[in-house]
A and B are shown apart, each in its own frame.
Chain A
Amino acid sequence: MAEIFEDARTRFLRISAMVIKEFKSLLQVKSTILILFLVPMSIIPVLATTKISSDRFVPTIWIIDYDNSEQSNQFITTMKNSSGVEGLIELTNTVYASGDLAPIEPAFLEKEAFDFVSEELARRTIPTKYLDAFIILQEGFQESLAENGTVELIIYFDAIDFLSLVASEMTILVSLTDIQIRNMLFERDIYYYPELRPDQTHMGLLSLTASLIIPFLGLFTMLLITSQSIVGDIPLKRMLNTSLRRGEVVVGKLISYSILALFQVLITLLLLSLFGIAINCLWIELFFILLVNSIVGICMGIFISTITHTKLQASQLFLMVFFIMFIFQYFTRTFLDFIPLEQTKIAYEALANRGMSLQDPIVLKSLFKLTLNGIFYFLFSVIYIKYIKKRFV
């Protein structure tokens, strides 16, 4: 029994020494510590002070009028004056109709160029940024409206830029509704009206993006630093000739970087509080989730550092992990159980935005997956460094 206690005591002493050594070497490079805290301290205020605006999505729409009737002119005038709001987006547009001079792609050395709107020009201009969509008002527009109460509109959309495409479609839909209301034109149709829960129209950018950005900052900064922790540790090779065991290296690194992460999470939460971001749960619960997120980042970083042989390899592997996680989370939406960022996002949303508690099954499930990810990387690092890794710096 005494032997077990003695073994535990010496192990504790060795790990403590390892943690102290790690801290000392980290504190020697003050810029490292500064940047670690500078990342949240600069990005959070940028987001907190930025206002959402739809100015970047003002689609340019041309109307080619082959009817030249009173109704078609009325259509064009209403389209030109139309604006509205759908969901979070304020919709405005720039409309040019047949006979108007519209901006087109300038030739070399020309600052700007204009030409008269026509179908032929529209077909040539639609791939460029100078035109997002064009509507053809066919001959008989007025007649069809008067006789049938309906009329066919052919609308050509530029689909190269998907964000502009979404904005153009929404703008045209809102404008057409506007025309019908103003001219009392009604026919069988089904419109939908989006109601937002919670209504985010007056929320700041940080409130909207906190669940994505905050876990992202914590995970990736810790992942990057720790990806250099073993591969860049020059005294480690000599230290392994002492009584220090290989597995203890991983534990020591994990503890020291976790303490660093603790301060980073605290600063992040303080900044969120300072900028008045609504947190509908206990602060300690959010703190816990973000700390687990950072610890998983540390485990992943140590794992990268363990399996690589040079600092450059470790940093490149970090970048690969970053891109793969980014694509899986935002584009393919696959393997989400293995993406710690997604699990933290779910837990963050449930706690901070939906007002749930840590005991809630949704949060517990995410926390469980997050912890499993961390344990996997930790165990793999211990196994690798103990039984497989032969080369140290």
Chain B
Amino acid sequence: MILGEKWKKLEEITIKHFSNPLKRFFSLIEKEIRVLMNDKGAMIITYCIPILSIIILATLVPDQLVSDEGGTGIGGVIGMELPKVGIIDCDNSDGFPDRDLSAEFVVKFQEKEENGECHLIISTNQSELEKMLGRGEINTFIIIPSLFEFNLSIHLPVIIPIVLDTIDSINLMSSQEFVEGLIYEFKVENNFMGVFQMSKVHMNIPERNQTFFAAFPLLIPMLIFGIGMLTSCQSIISDIPKDRMVLTPTNKQEMMAAKVFANTAIQLGVGLIILISSIIMKLEIRSSYFEYSMVLLILILNAVLTGVAISALSKSTLAAFQYFIFIFILNIVIMWFVKDPLILGLIPLNNGNEILLQVVLRGQSLWTCFDQILFLTAESIVLYIFSYLVFKHQKTML
């Protein structure tokens, strides 16, 4: 009899302390997901962003980036525009019988122009080309020096000055790449390979979808952080019923956890799209898909928690969006331009980029990216506690 009473009491305690809160918690998660899913337009756009970005990268850019001949082809990723090249032939020397080597070099450029690979301006006046370069009308010009043919004929190397326009930074690399490739072709054709005849072998690069492969570690964290942060930065600030909910047994701790769970669940859809796209695009990963998924999950959690923290901190929806753009742009700028390892360690975009590159593409163990994972996890925990404290001390409307 006594045992039965005790058992009943234990059951009551279990219901009171565990079962009811759990039920409430799951109901809250369901409510949050329903709220997000009700906005079908927003959800469609959310899931369309990674799909569209990947499709554009897969269809509108050249598949082949790296060739074992000439340059890396990296210029092709950054700028597909035809390079505008100027050339001056200052060589009148003789060396090879029945050949005019500098003229042959110029013909090589003309052939490229005929094939639609560049715009060519042949000149005899360096000042004219300097002026055109200054106005951005050409990207680069080459000066074939005097004694070009003679030096090569007596087995000496020659140095060709290439003048580059550094103002147009986007086309700088592609024009340099073009000239480098052309010089290499000319060297191979004429066996001017120098003392060290290099045979370049590019390893670990997939045969197909090289652009997607190259953009992957940069673009994927940007997509995850952008979408995750933007969606969840509205979770608290635009939740109007939350003020009434505090009058029910629901507490802010549960509300907060439910928001994080629900937003993470929604963002897992984005992660899934990225995973499926990787499979469809035959992205050559060296990690297992389990590790890849774990990495995506860590990034998604961090993005969602940053968004929730923004939402807790903001006083209006517009302010939340403003905080988002500020943090997002700051992340991008620091990742691209700042080199301090401590500052970079605090930047989730950079950590995401490093983990995806080292673990997923290179196949290193997660242990080798311990610092980045630690930073991301610690940041996530701090953000969660911070958001909760801010949310807890927020005054409700009621």
Tell me how far the C-beta of B258 lies from the nearest C-beta in chain A, rounded to whole angstroms: 18
* A387 / chain B contacts, CB cutoff of 8 Å: none
CA A50 to CA B201, docked complex, whole Å: 36
Q: In whole angstroms, how far apart are the Cα atoms of A319 and B46 in the complex?
A: 9
Closest to B133 in A: A197
Are A151 and B72 also in contact (CB < 8 A) when A32-B318, A162-B77, A313-B39 are? no
Chain B CB within 10 A, most for which of A56, A197, A232, A345: A197
Whether the pair B166, A313 counts as a contact (CB closer than 8 A) is no
Interface size class of A (residues with CB under 8 A): 35 or more
How far, in Å, is B12 (CB) from chain A's closest CB? 42
Whether B223 sits at the interface, judged by CB under 8 Å, is yes
Query: Which chain A residues lie closer than 8 Å to B57 at the CB level?
Result: 327, 331-332
Given A197-B164, A333-B80, A315:B230 Cβ within 8 A? yes
Chain A residues, CB < 8 A from B170: 329-330, 333, 345
- A159 to B322: give the CA distance in the assembly, Å: 38
The answer to the question of A176 belonging to the interface, with a C-beta cut-off of 8 Å to chain B, is: yes
The interface bits of chain B over 183-196 (1 if a CB of A lies within 8 angstroms of the residue's CB, else 0) are 10011000111111
Whether, in the assembled complex, A81 has its beta carbon less than 8 Å from a beta carbon of chain B, the answer is no
Choice from A155, A196, A320, A326 contacting B201 with Cβ under 8 Å: A155
Judge whether A165 and B238 touch: CB under 8 Å: no
In the bound complex, do residue B227 and residue A319 qualify as a contact, i.e. CB atoms below 8 Å apart? yes
CB within 8 Å of A: which B41-60 residues: 41-42, 45-46, 48-49, 52-53, 56-57, 60
Is the Cβ of B226 less than 8 Å from the Cβ of A319?
yes
Chain B: minimal CB distance from A214 (Å): 12
Within 8 A of B (CB), among A175-232: 176, 179-180, 185-200, 205, 208-209, 211-213, 216-217, 220-221, 224-225, 227-228, 232
Question: Does B8 belong to the interface (CB within 8 Å)?
Answer: no
Asked whether, in the complex, the Cβ of A127 is within 8 Å of the Cβ of B158, the reply is no
Q: Which residues of A contact B72 (CB under 8 A)?
A: 159, 162, 165-166, 169
A315 CB contact (under 8 Å) in B159, B194, B321, B337: B321
A327 touches B56 (CB 8 A): yes
**Contact residues of A between 361 and 380, Cβ < 8 Å to B:** 362
Say whether B197 faces chain A, with CB atoms less than 8 Å apart.
yes
- Select the stretch in B13-21, B115-123, B291-299, B326-334 that faces chain A: B326-334
Once the chains bind, are A190 and B187 in contact (CB under 8 Å)?
Answer: yes
23 A–B contacts from the bound complex (CB under 8 Å): A29-B318, A31-B314, A39-B329, A128-B362, A151-B196, A152-B197, A159-B204, A160-B357, A165-B74, A169-B72, A185-B195, A188-B194, A190-B183, A192-B179, A196-B164, A228-B321, A310-B39, A311-B238, A315-B234, A324-B52, A331-B78, A354-B134, A362-B136
Binding site for A on B (CB under 8 A): 36, 39, 41-42, 45-46, 48-49, 52-53, 56-57, 60-61, 65-66, 71-72, 74, 77-81, 130, 133-136, 142, 152, 155-170, 176, 179-180, 183, 186-187, 191-205, 211, 214-215, 217, 219, 222-223, 226-227, 230-231, 234, 238, 286, 314-319, 321-326, 329-330, 333-334, 337-339, 357-358, 361-365, 367-368
Q: Give 13 new A-B contacts, CB below 8 A, not counting A158-B203, A225-B322.
A: A43-B333, A47-B333, A87-B164, A127-B204, A149-B195, A159-B66, A192-B161, A194-B176, A195-B162, A224-B325, A232-B318, A316-B42, A331-B61
A residues within 8 Å of B by Cβ? 29, 31-32, 35-36, 38-39, 42-43, 46-47, 50, 53, 55-56, 87-88, 105-109, 126-129, 145, 149-162, 165-166, 169, 176, 179-180, 185-200, 205, 208-209, 211-213, 216-217, 220-221, 224-225, 227-228, 232, 308-313, 315-317, 319-320, 322-324, 326-334, 345-346, 349-350, 353-354, 356, 362
